[in-house]
Amino acid sequence: GPHDRDETIGPNRPFKDIAWGLASRGIAVLRYEKRTKAYARKVTPTSMTVKEEVIDDALEAIDFLRSRSEVDSRKIFLLGHSLGAMLAPEIATLSGKLAGIIVAAGPARHLEDVIVDQIEYITSLKESPADADEKMLSDLKENLARLKAHTLPDSARIIGIPARYLYDLGRRDQVQFARDLRIPILILQGERDYQVTMEDISLWNRAIGNRADVKIITYPDLNHLFATGSGKAKPEEYLRLGYVANQLIEDVSSWIKENSPAK
């Protein structure tokens, strides 16, 4: 989606929290508006893939940082959240110039499987789901089944996302990219996250968790935005002001410093 540089969601600004937290620990941070936010009127959603939406600009950002005299080009790390985290291993592979990546709430599964889990979870929170909810979930599953069978037209939309976009995303294998990377990887996951879940952590762990250069940290009280909460996470939680947990920022800062090449 068209996120700004703060990744603003309701009153929450998780990227701003992370950036300021890292900067206060001596780590320079570059954030930028996604092109779908900055140039919303110029983009054509029906022809866009994650290459145009995410990957191209991330690669440009890396090259921009490498051109700055005040930045040590050997110590550039990429942090992605959610979809950005899913694409971080591929971006690192294409760049070939990173010291490491941070995968924050990154799906290890196909996005269509993540979407079904999200909608089922949200529906389950209702004491008595309406018939409209059940029909929407049934239609969604039917369309996703057609997507997997490659019988859904490119122009069709699934919860607003063009099928063409999902077809392209489904051809990308973030886990295999991560397996092939030979740079440090930090994987972060909130255990209260219902959008990307502990099932994804199990898959990451199974694929690369035994590597010495991979570290996986989960946080029992944190949600998808890495804000603290209790009980079952709910969508309305995103409408309340929260902040990225200090422990996560401390973990990222320490890991970056530990994995930065020596002078």
Give me the active site residues, please: 82, 193, 224
Estimate to the nearest angstrom the gap between the alpha carbon of 104 and the chain centroid. Answer: 6
- Neighbouring-strand partners of residue 214: 185
Q: How many CB atoms lie within 10 A of CB 118?
A: 17
| Long-range CB contact pairs, 136-144, < 8 A, 24+ | 140/115, 140/116, 141/116, 144/112, 144/115, 144/116
What string of DSSP letters covers 147-216?
Answer: HHTT-S-TT-EETTEEHHHHHHHHT--HHHHHHH--S-EEEEEETT-SSS-HHHHHHHHHHHTT-TTEEE
Token pair for residue 69? Answer: 């005299």
> What DSSP character marks residue 261?
P
DSSP state of 82: T
Query: In residues, how long is the chain?
Result: 263
46: how many CB neighbours lie within 10 A of its CB? 12
Cα–Cα nearest to 53, from 177, 156, 164: 164
Calpha distance 224→68 (Å, rounded): 33
